[in-house]
């Protein structure tokens, strides 16, 4: 499910920033600016009731600007608020919450949570393994 969330975030970013590269894996060398890097921070899961669970997923979307211009970072941060409010997930839309941003060493860090309830399939043994039926046809005479 985490990969589906990352795909939804990537699609939303691509729709809004079509000319900016999006990365989901660590970039060792050759970073071409401007670009986004999507990083998941400490996902958690809590059992609610029976097989029902609540999952919390906090993402940190890094934006590496083309220039050291603060106005570019501010414009991107403002646009991300609207862009990441809803993402496509599991055939529907998922709303982002707790959105905030900060700039550290010239890189924008945009934080957003995508939390949802899920039902875990806990049935490991089928209810019925085999069924034998014996029957006769009754003579109607």
In this predicted structure, what is the pLDDT of residue 136?
Answer: 79
> For the chain, how many residues are written?
141
Half-sphere exposure of 51 (CA within 13 A, CB side): 6
Q: How confident is the model at residue 123 (pLDDT cuts 50, 70, 90)?
A: low
In this predicted structure, what is the pLDDT of residue 50?
Answer: 87
Please check whether residue 110 is in contact with residue 77, taking contact to mean a CB–CB distance below 8 angstroms. yes
- Beta strands 97-104 and 92-95 are unpaired
Q: How confident is the model at residue 40 (pLDDT cuts 50, 70, 90)?
A: very high
Q: Is the pLDDT of residue 122 over 70?
A: no
Interatomic CA distance for residues 102 and 128, integer angstroms: 56
pTM across the whole model? 0.80
Interatomic CA distance for residues 98 and 12, integer angstroms: 18
Please check whether residue 41 is in contact with residue 114, taking contact to mean a CB–CB distance below 8 angstroms. no
């Amino acid at each position: 499910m985490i990969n589906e969330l990352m795909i939804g975030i990537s699609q939303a970013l691509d729709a809004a920033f079509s000319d900016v590269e999006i990365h989901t894996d660590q970039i060792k060398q050759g970073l071409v600016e401007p670009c986004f890097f999507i990083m998941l921070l400490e996902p958690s899961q809590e059992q609610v009731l029976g097989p029902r669970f609540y999952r919390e997923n906090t993402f940190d979307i890094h934006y590496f600007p083309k220039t050291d211009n603060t106005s570019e970072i501010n414009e991107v941060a403002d646009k991300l608020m609207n862009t990441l409010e809803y993402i496509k997930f599991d055939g529907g839309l998922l709303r982002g919450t707790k959105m905030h941003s900060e700039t550290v060493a010239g890189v924008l860090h945009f934080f957003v949570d995508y939390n949802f309830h899920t039902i875990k399939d806990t049935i490991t043994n089928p209810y019925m393994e085999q069924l034998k039926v014996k029957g006769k046809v009754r003579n109607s005479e």
